[in-house]
Amino acid sequence: MTLDNIEKIASYIVSEGKGILAADESNPTCGKRFDTIGVENIESNRRDYREMLFRSSGLKGNIGGVILFDETLRQNAKDGTPLIDIMNAEGALPGIKVDKGLVPIQDGSEEVITKGLDGLDERLKEYTAIGAKFTKWRAVIKIGDGMPTDKCIDGNADALAEYAKLAQNNGLVPIVEPEILMDGHHTIEQSFDASSRALASLFNSLKNKDVNLKGVLLKPSMVTPGSDATTKASVDDVANMTLKSLKENVPAEVPGITFLSGGQTEVEATEHLDAMNKIGGFEWKLSFSYGRALQAGALKAWSGDAENVFIAQDILSHRAKMNNLAAQGKWDKGLEEDF
C-alpha cells in the first residue's frame, strides 16, 4: 500500500490490531523517568534508550506509528542511521508532538489550555520535510470543584480543531487528544460526563473547521473513576462507560480511536482495551497509543546498561503484542504469566 494521503496513513496506523508507541516525552519528562533507574539525562542516553525501543523486533506488525519529541525526530542512532529510518523499516510511521505545553486558561485558574498555534504552520512544513507522517496535540481537562467549565472544554476543542486543520493542510494526520485527567476523587459518572462533553465539543469544532474526519485519529482517556476515588470500577464498568461515551459522540467515519493509558498499569490498560473490543458494536478501530503502559517494564529492565538491551526489547515486544491482541479482542490474562 502506498501511504500517499492522510486517509490511508490514518487507516494504516490502526490496521490489523496495530497501535501507537508514545515516545514523545519532553527532555525534562524523560529526565524524571531516568531518575527512577539512576540514568543521567543527557542526549546520548536518551538516544540509546529510544534506539533500543525502535530496534525491538516486536514493533513489526504491532506498532503502526511512533510519536516522537522534536529531538528524536532529528536524531541518528549510534551507527549514524536516522532513528526514523529504523522505525520505518519496522513498519512504524514517525509522528511528532507539536503542541507547546499548558498555560492557565486565565490568571489564578486551575484549568489549562494548550499553547503552540503560533508558528505552527511553519513547524509542520519542516516536520513534513524531515519525514513525519502524523502529529499529536494534547489538551488537558481537569475534574474538580466546578470543573471542567465550558470555557475550558470549548477553548481546548477550538485549539485542537485549528491544529488539526493545519496538520491536514500539510499532508499530516492529526491525532487529537482531549485527556481527562485521572487525578482526583471523582466518580466514574463524573468522568463519563466530562468525557462526553469534551468529545461533543471537539467534534463540533472539527466539523466547523471542515477537518476531514477520515484523516484524523482520536486519542481519548478511558472513562474511569479518579485515582483517589473511594469507589473503584470493574473492567466491565470501564469498558461499557467508555464505549457509551464514544458511541454517543464520535462519528463513524473516524478510522481509529487510540487510547492513552493515563496512569493505568501495563496490564490494566491492555485488559480494558481488550474488554471493549470483545463487546464490539462500533465501526472505528479501537486501539492504543500508550507511553508508560508500553515502556515501563522495558525502561526498568534496561536501566542504562547495554547488556540489558535484549531483555528490555523482549519486554517491550511482549507488551506490543499483548496490545495488538487486545485491539482485536483476542487477549487473555494467561498470556501474561511468563512476564
Give the SS3 label for residue 259: strand
77 by Cβ neighbours in 10 Å (0-12 / 13-18 / 19+) ranks as: middle
pLDDT digits (tens, 9 = 90+) for 240-257: 999 999 999 999 999 999
pLDDT score, position 128 = 97
Cell of 308: 540489558
Taking the chain, what is the end-to-end CA distance rounded to the nearest angstrom?
A: 35
Give the number of other CB atoms < 10 A from CB of residue 231: 11
Length of the chain: 339
pLDDT digits (tens, 9 = 90+) for 16-74: 999 999 999 999 999 999 999 999 999 999 999 999 999 999 999 999 999 999 999 99
pLDDT score, position 338 = 73
Q: Where are the domains of the chain?
A: 6-336
Is residue 179 part of the annotated active site? The answer reads no
pLDDT score, position 263 = 86
Is residue 248 part of the annotated active site? The answer reads no
Residue 258 dihedral angles phi and psi, to the nearest 5°: -115, 105
The CATH class that applies to domain 6-336 reads alpha beta
Annotated active-site residue in 177, 179, 266, 271: 177
pLDDT digits (tens, 9 = 90+) for 78-87: 999 999 999 9
* Vertex 224: Cα angle to 222 and 227 (nearest 5): 120
Annotated active-site residue in 97, 142, 219, 285: 219
182 by Cβ neighbours in 10 Å (0-12 / 13-18 / 19+) ranks as: buried
Give the global pTM: 0.97
